Amino acid sequence: QVHELNGNVIVPGFIDMHVHLRDPGLEYKETIETGTRSAAAGGFTTIACMPNTKPILDNPELMRYIYDTTNKTGSCKVLPYAAITRGERGEELTDMEALKEAGAVGFTDDGVGVQSGGMMRSAMERAKALGLPIVIHAEDESLSGKGCMNEGDVSKRLGLPGIPGVAESVHVARDALLAELTGVHLHVCHISDASAVDVVRWAKGRGIRITAEVTPHHLLLTDEGIDGTDANWKVNPPLRTEKDRLACLEGLLDGTIDMIATDHAPHSEEEKRRAFQVAPFGFVGLETAFPLLYTELVEKAKLLTLQQLVKKMATAPAEVFNLPGGTVAEGGLADLVVVNLEEERVIDPATFASKGRNTPFAGWRAKGWPVLTICDGKVTFDRTNSK
Ligand code: NCD
Ligand code: ZN
Ligand code: ZN
Ligand code: ZN
């Protein structure tokens, strides 16, 4: 499914099942217009957006707002996840049936937070009845506390409060077992910790309906890069150790981790200039994901082939979430991206279509830049005429 055009390759449009668009309410960080333009520039034709907006995406009107605004101003398809609960850290589950009718593609606690097992079980039972997935951020906040980076040697050296890997793996284990009990499809966001990869592998072996994603930054970076001052290195889950990074790579290669998702999380420059401990968590990722992974994992490390990378960024998410795309949709119009594998550029956040500039990858050299993106048969990004 990789074709050639003038020395460029043509691959299926990328699908990112984890994006924070910040719209409505946090438009100073990103809008549907700028976020989807960023997606198209990165070769993405479908993205799923997270509900931690203002207000929280917890009702059908807001699902319709996402679809309507995307129709008017969008440069790719946007699939909204609804919050599991009403409001932020709500005590009451959302009206899942009405949300499904309005186009929610799953229910998540990402950026919203559900801690009690009983509530998660109820959400899973309802989602299962509706045939929709539960998508978990997977963080036991009673274990992560006030941490701002991975708990380990580096956090100790810097004197910063840490988030232990078990805050993630304990939560994944609990929810995997609840998924076994309820039969729901459980999707685990941004896996970052070695023990969490092991739990997912174990759960798959048990026949639990569990899938998982990993971000480019957890595949490429570790906490060794953190100096305790630059909040462009602060993300949740945190960058962990080399052992964890290698475990994520191994999980991606052996099929434990199904797909790559960016967790694109734009913040303002002012917010990211704050002290490391108080700045918000998150990196932008849509415009750098493919070039970074192609350059580092395909070209340099030769851990993946181009075909395998495309599978993790397009075909696998389409299969797991039952989406058209990942190929030319049957009876539909093409979702494609033309990529120049030879052109090398230096990552410069000033050039991003996203409002967010918050990336730890500024200054990295990468190859594999999209030159043309086609979504539903329409050109959504085109720099074939620029030098
Ligand atoms: C996300 C955000 O900024 O909304 N931040 C992050 O570091 N990933 C929330 C999240 O995905 O947990
Ligand atoms: Zn998250
Ligand atoms: Zn760990
Ligand atoms: Zn997120």
Tens-place pLDDT, residues 76-101: 999 999 999 998 878 899 999 999 99
The pLDDT of residue 218: 99
Q: What is the mean pLDDT of the chain?
A: 95
Residue position matching structure tokens 């970052």:
192
At residue 145, φ and ψ (nearest 5 deg) are 55, -135
Q: Which atom of ligand 1 is nearest to the CA of 234?
A: 7
- Widest Cα–Cα separation across the chain: 58
Please count the other Cβ atoms lying within 10 Å of the Cβ belonging to residue 77: 23
The pLDDT of residue 5: 67
Closest ligand to residue 138's CA: 2
Q: Which residues are catalytic?
A: 263
The pLDDT of residue 387: 53
Tens-place pLDDT, residues 24-61: 999 999 999 999 999 999 999 999 999 999 999 999 99
Burial 359-382 (b: 16+ CB within 10 A, else e): bbbeebebbbbbbbbbbbeeebbe
Of 16-20, 99-103, 218-222, 332-336, which range is least confident? Answer: 332-336
- Hey, whose CA ends up nearest to atom 7 of ligand 1? 282
- Hey, whose CA ends up nearest to atom 10 of ligand 1? 111
Tens-place pLDDT, residues 253-269: 999 999 999 999 999 99
Instruction: Determine the residue of 16, 20, 53, 108 to mutate for testing ligand 1's pocket, defined as the one with the most ligand atoms within 8 A of the Cβ atom.
Output: 20
Tens-place pLDDT, residues 181-225: 999 999 999 999 999 999 999 999 999 999 999 999 999 999 999
Measured distance CA(335)–CA(123) in Å, rounded: 33
Residue position matching structure tokens 């279509």:
353
pLDDT higher than threshold 80 for residue 68:
yes
ipTM of this complex prediction, to 2 decimal places: 0.94
Q: Which residues have any ligand 1 atom within 6 Å of their CB?
A: 20, 52, 110-111, 137, 235-236, 263, 265, 280-282
Q: Which two tokens stand for residue 300?
A: 């340099």
Residue 193 CA to ligand 3 centre (angstroms): 5
Alpha helices in the chain (DSSP H): 32-41, 60-73, 96-101, 117-130, 141-144, 153-158, 166-182, 194-205, 216-220, 242-254, 269-272, 289-293, 306-310, 316-320
The pLDDT of residue 385: 79
**Cβ(147)–Cβ(205) under 8 Å?**
no
pTM over 0.90? The answer is: yes
Spatial CA neighbour of 54 closest among 19, 83, 33, 75: 83
Measured distance CA(78)–CA(45) in Å, rounded: 9
Q: Which atom of ligand 1 is nearest to the CA of 236?
A: 7
pLDDT band at 328 (very low <50, low <70, confident <90, very high): low
